[in-house]
Amino acid sequence: MRNVTIPIEAVATFGSKKSRVFVQNGLFNYICLMNYRHNKELVIAKGMELFWVKGFHHLGVDEICRETGMTKGAFYNAFKSKEQFLLVTLKSYGDVIESHLQRQLAKGKSKAFDKLVALYTNMLKTQSKNGFKGCFVNNMMSEMGTLNSTISKLSSEQFDRFIGVIQPTIQQAQADGDLNDNLPTKQLAEIIHTAFFGFLTRSKSLKLPMHNLMTLFLHTLKNKQHETN
């Protein structure tokens, strides 16, 4: 995933006062100038960035309001609670990543297996460019998975969305004879993406991209009989 960190700046208007809101997130590569009161999307993007970097427990509503320019009253009126705000940002992240995966896997005329290798290689290589933040969904699964069933459920739903996008490419790789077809496609997709999440966690810890190990892992899943023939 190409996720070059580009600052997004918007001018937020509060009556006669103006404040600047910055979103450091390469998933939203645009610059906009708009009235904050009609820009819920920018607030969600900034909230996503904050949760992604700081986690749930180390981010308070005071900081969210300070960074977005919202008053507490406006925040609670719009999102009701910090937990609800996190759920909104998780769903938004899922939308962005689902679209990203679809675009990347639809590119070019490479074989399905080669597209998978390129996809995961690029997403892991990008970690060095975005400060080794990992994946927002994976981070929330790790932090909140056993503590909050609602957050855990939504995180798992986003994971399943990603699996749903990747699954047809894996199925094609199996049909091409490039991936082991002894396992059902969905199960193989879950194994591959779960391994990717593991490499992301390791990458975040070591501050290393880990793409070479992910590539090696994918090659261990190749259809050995097809390679022999």
Instruction: Based on the fold, state whether residues 94 and 173 are members of the same structural domain.
Output: yes
Instruction: Based on the fold, state whether residues 167 and 117 are members of the same structural domain.
Output: yes
Does residue 27 lie within any of the structural domains? yes
Instruction: Based on the fold, state whether residues 119 and 63 are members of the same structural domain.
Output: no
Instruction: Based on the fold, state whether residues 49 and 144 are members of the same structural domain.
Output: no
Evaluate whether 174 touches 152 at the Cβ level (below 8 Å): no
Instruction: Based on the fold, state whether residues 52 and 131 are members of the same structural domain.
Output: no
Q: For residue 96, what pLDDT is reported?
A: 95
Does residue 215 lie within any of the structural domains? yes
Instruction: Based on the fold, state whether residues 129 and 76 are members of the same structural domain.
Output: no
Domain final position from 50, 65, 80: 80
Does residue 178 lie within any of the structural domains? yes
Please name every residue paired with 179 in a beta bridge, in sequence order, or none if there are none. 222
DSSP state of 131: T
Domain final position from 43, 61, 80: 80
pTM, full prediction: 0.80
Instruction: Based on the fold, state whether residues 221 and 110 are members of the same structural domain.
Output: yes
Instruction: Based on the fold, state whether residues 114 and 66 are members of the same structural domain.
Output: no
Structural domain boundaries enclosing 61: 7-80
Taking only the tens of pLDDT, the chain with its 229 residues reads 333 333 333 333 333 334 444 444 444 333 233 334 448 889 999 999 999 999 999 999 999 999 999 999 999 999 999 999 999 999 999 999 999 999 999 999 999 999 999 999 999 999 999 899 999 999 999 999 999 999 999 999 999 999 999 999 999 999 999 999 999 999 999 999 999 999 999 999 999 999 999 999 999 999 766 555 5
Residues near 202 by beta carbon (within 8 Å), at least 6 away in sequence: 208, 210
Domains identified in the chain, total number? 2
Evaluate whether 174 touches 200 at the Cβ level (below 8 Å): no
Q: For residue 225, what pLDDT is reported?
A: 60
- For residue 174, count other CB atoms closer than 10 A to its CB: 21
Instruction: Based on the fold, state whether residues 122 and 175 are members of the same structural domain.
Output: yes
Two tokens, residue 104: 């990347």
Does residue 2 lie within any of the structural domains? no
Bridge pairing between strands 17-24 and 7-14:
antiparallel
CATH assignment at residue 138: 1.10.357.10
Domain final position from 32, 61, 80: 80
* Listed residue (51, 146, 41) closest to 90, CA to CA: 51
Number of Cα atoms under 13 Å in the Cβ half of residue 111:
10
